Structures are given as structure tokens and as C-alpha cells.
A and B are shown apart, each in its own frame.
Chain A
Amino acid sequence: MVWQFSWLLLAATVQAASLSLQSPRFTISTPDATQLRSDTLSLTEKPEPLTLGPTDTLKLTFQITESDEGKGVQPHQTFLRFYDKASGEEGIQPVRVTPGGKAKFELNMVRPPASIPPTTHNPLEVSLILGSFVHAPAQYDLFDLYLPASQTPAEHPDEASFHVLPAIKHTFRPEQKSPPQFVSAVFAATVLSPWLVLIGLWSKIGVKVPNLFSLSIIPFTALLGAFEVLLVWYWVDLKLGQVLLYGGILAIPTVFAGKQALYATGEWRAGRK
């Protein structure tokens, strides 16, 4: 019963009490404490846009009160929001508020807080956001603020890797050409000339082969010749598998013919000796 009552009471206070801003004031000063501009803020109408130089300091003071009693309160959350309408970037900066509701915010452009969004020549819209468990939330659009343009962000070491690479263009070596026909013919003749030397030397040596056409020798010679013909045929037309097949078939009679031929040769050699 008591609990229910307290909840009702809480709801009533939420309904009743709202937060309000008292005596908001800003000051822009240079490092040597010269005040460039200082004014109170009207909550209904934005002032002329504020401009901060690269070394200037903006001071913002206000007090938060309950609208009914005028008593200072500390809301649970107090934020300044810096919003760049053009780029859509925003920065949220918490503001410390004393239990009495007084708050002071300083923006020193020599050391700007990290929460300030990247700035360009466009103004930042600055608004104050108040949040509370027991009061209705409140938001005040305070002013527009021109800040010096921020530096371009430092380039990431891997930045260069994340670009579209130029299209790969393959360069091929030029097609190799055959030498002129005359040169080809001359060298073909030159490379074939050792055959003449061979034939000349053999005819000079004059080895006799009396048994070349004997019945035991000729099959072996013919089968060896058949192997060479098969290989030439391979060069001209056949596939590898066919050559291996035919060669395998051809090998069987060649082995027997060779055995017979060489046996006969051995006999002749033994008989002659």
C-alpha cells in the first residue's frame, strides 16, 4: 500500500517538476585573458554565431533549477552536443554539475576535447541535453559555434592498400620469329653435313656386315627400325597412350628376335675365335 502510494507520488512529481536553465552565459577570451565577447544566452532565440580562434577559450556557465521552486538541482545526466549539420558528425561532451545545479564548461581550442567532431568551415550546432530520473528531460538549443577547421586525420599506415589498384596490363614478349629462309636453309645443310662425314668415314673404314641379311638377324633389325618408325609416327600424329600401347606390343617380338639374333652373333663370334 505504502509502495503504491510512493510510486504515485513519484509519478506526480515527474508530471509536476521540470528542469529549467538559469542565467546561461558564455564568454570568449584570448589566452591573455582579454574578453572578446561575453553575453547571456536567450533560450528562445539563438544569438549571433560564436566564433573561436585557434587559441581562444569559450566559457559557458549556467545553473539548473527546478522550474517550480527555483532550487538548484543536479540532473543525472548533463551533456553538450556538438552537431555538424552538413557532415552529420556529432560529439557529446558530459558536463560536470555541482549538487547545487551550477555548471561550468570550458572549451580551450589549444587543447580541444576529443569529443568535438571534425570541423570544417560549417558551424556546429551546440545544444544542452538534460536527463533525470525524476524530472522531465530537457533540451536547449544554445548557439551555433564556428571552430577552426580541424586538421585532416593522419593517414593510416595501410591507407595506400585500400584503394582500387590500376588494372593489370599484361605485356607479352613479341612473338619469336624464324630466321630468314636463306639462313635457315644454310644452317639446315650445315647441321646435316655430319651425315656426309659419317658416310665418308664409314666407307673409308669399310666394315663388312656379311650377316646383316641372314634370317636370324633381319627380324631384329627390322623391329628396331619399326620402333623408330613408331616414334616418328608419334611425332607426326599419335598420342602418348597410343605410343606406349603400340610400343609395348612391339617390344614383345623385339625381345625374342633380339635374343635370337644376338645368340646367333655370339655363336659366330665363338666359332670364329
Chain B
Amino acid sequence: MAGPKSSSKPSTASSETYVAVSTLWKSYLDQTPDRLKFIDAFLAFTVLSGVLQFVYCVLVTNFPFNAFLAGFASSVGQFVLTASLRAQVNPENRSEFKEVSPERAFADFALGSIVLHFFVFNFLG
């Protein structure tokens, strides 16, 4: 994304919004650890993947409905698991999860993913 515009003309609401969003994006890029960005990229991947499958289901067909359910559920489920992993390994949240080490969080993530994938393959038909 482009850098923030100079704030000499704060006349319209849309430019204010633009400034706010670009500031947010910049601070995200600057302050977020690379490991969390790595997880965020995976989150974006699952969201995109789920949305595209849903679009296919709506626009074209839901014909192998079980396959659609499996694919969509895997996207949603993986997103939830990854989001909770991200929340637990985020150093900013250390005070929230005192008893949960990042390793423990990753073990939970791995176990949860295996169970999720078991159900997904079960549904795949």
C-alpha cells in the first residue's frame, strides 16, 4: 500500500478514513513480529480459500454437497484453530495466557488440526 497522504486537506470523511486505514496498515507492518505475520498470511489464505469455495457453491453448483461441506468446513475450522494459535503465541497477550506456553499452544493447534482433518476427510466422501 502507498504511504499516508499528507494530512493538509482533512476536508472529506473519505480521506480521513483513508488516512486512518493507511496508518493502521503501516503500524501493522512496522510493529508486528514476522512470526505473527507468517500466521496472518495463513489466516488470509484460509479466508480466501473459504470465500472462493462459497462463491463456487453459490454461482455454479453445490453438487457434491458433502465435498463442499468438507472443503468449507476445513477452511473455517482451520481459520478458528489458527486464530486461537495466533492469540496464544502473541507476545502482547502474554499476560492473558500465563499458563500457556507457545509450545503448548502449538501442540493444541496440531492436535486440533489432526482431529479437524479427520472429520474433513470423513466428509469428503
Q: How far, in whole Å, are A231 and B71 apart by their CA atoms in the complex?
A: 14
The answer to whether A198 touches B103 (Cβ under 8 A) is no
Among the interface residues A187, A193, A228, A247, which one has the most CB atoms of the partner chain B within 10 A? Answer: A187
| A197 touches which of B48, B71, B104 (Cβ 8 Å) | B48
Q: Tell me if A232 is interfacial: C-beta within 8 Å of chain B.
A: yes
The answer to whether A191 touches B56 (Cβ under 8 A) is yes
The answer to whether B41 touches A234 (Cβ under 8 A) is no
The answer to whether B60 touches A197 (Cβ under 8 A) is no
Q: Which residues of A contact B52 (CB under 8 A)?
A: 187, 190-191, 193-194
Which residues of A in the span 248-273 have a Cβ within 8 Å of any Cβ on B? 258, 262-263, 265-266, 269
Which residues of A in the span 233-255 have a Cβ within 8 Å of any Cβ on B? 234-235, 240, 243, 247
Which residues of A in the span 187-219 have a Cβ within 8 Å of any Cβ on B? 187, 190-191, 193-195, 197-198, 201-202, 205-207
Interface size counted on chain A using CB atoms at 8 A: 34
| Closest CB in chain B relative to A195 CB, distance in Å | 7
Q: Main secondary structure on chain B at its contact with chain A?
A: helix
Number of A-B contacts (CB under 8 A): 79
Q: How far, in whole Å, are A195 and B122 apart by their CA atoms in the complex?
A: 23
Q: Which residues of B contact A (CB under 8 A)?
A: 34-35, 37-38, 41-42, 44-45, 48-49, 52-53, 56, 60-61, 63, 71, 101-104, 106-107, 110, 114, 117-118, 121-122, 124
Q: Which residues of A contact B (CB under 8 A)?
A: 176-179, 183, 187, 190-191, 193-195, 197-198, 201-202, 205-207, 224, 227-228, 231-232, 234-235, 240, 243, 247, 258, 262-263, 265-266, 269
Q: List 6 A-B contacts (CB under 8 A).
A: A202-B41, A224-B110, A234-B122, A262-B106, A265-B103, A266-B103
